[in-house]
A and B are shown apart, each in its own frame.
Chain A
Amino acid sequence: MNIHAVRAIYRFEMARTWRTLMQSIISPVISTSLYFVVFGAAIGSRIPESQGISYGAFIVPGLIMLSLLTQSISNASFGIYFPKFTGTIYELLSAPVSYLEIVVSYVGAAATKSIILGLIILATAGLFVPLQVAHPWWMILFLVLTSVTFSLFGFIIGIWADGFEKLQVIPLLVITPLTFLGGSFYSIDILPPFWRTLALFNPVVYLISGFRWSFYGMADVSVGVSLAMTLGFLALFMAIVAWIFKTGYRLKA
Chain B
Amino acid sequence: MSMQPIITISNLSKTYASGFQALKRVSLDIRRGEIFALLGPNGAGKTTLISTVCGIVKPTEGSVLVAGHDIVADYRAARSMIGLVPQELTTDAFESVWATVSFSRGLFGKSKNAAHIEEVLKALSLWDKKDNKLMTLSGGMKRRVLIAKALSHEPTILFLDEPTAGVDVELRRDMWQLVRSLQERGVTIILTTHYIDEAEEMADRIGVISKGEIILVDDKAELMRKLGKKQLALQLETPLERIPPELVAYNLDLASDGSELIYTYDAQGERSGILALLQDLNGAGIRFKDLQTTQSSLEDIFVSLVSKKK
- Chain A residues in the interface with B (C-beta under 8 A): 2, 4-5, 7-9, 11-12, 15-16, 19, 86-88, 90-98, 248, 252-253
B296 on interface, CB distance cutoff 8 Å:
no
CB distance from A13 to the nearest CB of B (A): 11
B181 on interface, CB distance cutoff 8 Å:
no
Of A15, A93, A96, the most chain B CB neighbours within 10 A belong to: A96
CB distance from B72 to the nearest CB of A (A): 11
A90-B80 contact, Cβ under 8 Å, with A4-B106, A5-B109, A95-B107:
no
A to B CB contacts below 8 Å, 16 in the list = A2-B109, A4-B106, A4-B107, A4-B110, A5-B107, A7-B106, A12-B99, A12-B103, A87-B88, A90-B90, A91-B84, A93-B55, A96-B76, A96-B78, A248-B58, A253-B17
CB distance from B85 to the nearest CB of A (A): 10
CB pair A91 B99 closer than 8 Å: no
Checking A95, A98, A252 against B58 with a beta-carbon cut-off of 8 angstroms, the contacting residue is A252
Checking A88, A90, A96 against B92 with a beta-carbon cut-off of 8 angstroms, the contacting residue is A88
B215 on interface, CB distance cutoff 8 Å:
no
A94-B106 contact, Cβ under 8 Å, with A4-B111, A253-B16, A253-B17:
no
CB distance from B99 to the nearest CB of A (A): 7
Instruction: Name A252's closest neighbour in chain B (CB-CB).
Output: B58
A2 to B81, CA, bound (A): 14
CB distance from B77 to the nearest CB of A (A): 8
Instruction: Name the A residues within 8 Å of B51 (CB-CB).
Output: 90, 253
B149 on interface, CB distance cutoff 8 Å:
yes
Write the B65-84 contact mask toward A (1 if CB under 8 angstroms, else 0): 00000000001111110101
B54 on interface, CB distance cutoff 8 Å:
yes
CB pair B107 A91 closer than 8 Å: yes
CB pair B55 A15 closer than 8 Å: no
Question: In residues 73-120 of chain B, which contact A (Cβ within 8 Å)?
Answer: 75-80, 82, 84, 86, 88, 90-95, 99, 102-111
B57 on interface, CB distance cutoff 8 Å:
yes
A90 to B150, CA, bound (A): 12
Instruction: Name A83's closest neighbour in chain B (CB-CB).
Output: B92
Q: How large is the interface on B (under 10, 10 to 19, 20 to 34, 35 or more residues)?
A: 35 or more
A252 to B51, CA, bound (A): 10
Of B51, B80, B107, the most chain A CB neighbours within 10 A belong to: B107
| Interface pairs A-B: 7 shortest CB-CB | A8-B106, A87-B90, A96-B79, A94-B54, A96-B76, A2-B109, A95-B107
A141 to B91, CA, bound (A): 38
B169 on interface, CB distance cutoff 8 Å:
no
CB distance from A98 to the nearest CB of B (A): 7
A253-B94 contact, Cβ under 8 Å, with A5-B109, A91-B104, A95-B107:
no
A90 to B78, CA, bound (A): 16
Instruction: Name B104's closest neighbour in chain A (CB-CB).
Output: A91
Instruction: Name B89's closest neighbour in chain A (CB-CB).
Output: A87
Instruction: Name the A residues within 8 Å of B94 (CB-CB).
Output: 16, 19
A90 to B79, CA, bound (A): 12
Instruction: Name B79's closest neighbour in chain A (CB-CB).
Output: A96
Instruction: Name the B residues within 8 Å of A90 (CB-CB).
Output: 51, 56, 84, 86, 90
Checking A5, A86, A98, A252 against B90 with a beta-carbon cut-off of 8 angstroms, the contacting residue is A86
Instruction: Name the B residues within 8 Å of A8 (CB-CB).
Output: 102-103, 105-107
CB distance from A87 to the nearest CB of B (A): 3
Instruction: Name the A residues within 8 Å of B149 (CB-CB).
Output: 91
Instruction: Name A20's closest neighbour in chain B (CB-CB).
Output: B94
Instruction: Name the A residues within 8 Å of B55 (CB-CB).
Output: 93-94
A99 to B64, CA, bound (A): 20
CB pair A96 B84 closer than 8 Å: no
Instruction: Name the A residues within 8 Å of B57 (CB-CB).
Output: 252-253
CB distance from B52 to the nearest CB of A (A): 10
Instruction: Name A247's closest neighbour in chain B (CB-CB).
Output: B58
Instruction: Name the A residues within 8 Å of B90 (CB-CB).
Output: 86-88, 90
Write the B10-49 contact mask toward A (1 if CB under 8 angstroms, else 0): 0000001100000000000000000000000000000000
CB distance from A145 to the nearest CB of B (A): 28
CB pair B76 A93 closer than 8 Å: no
Instruction: Name the A residues within 8 Å of B104 (CB-CB).
Output: 91
CB distance from B83 to the nearest CB of A (A): 9
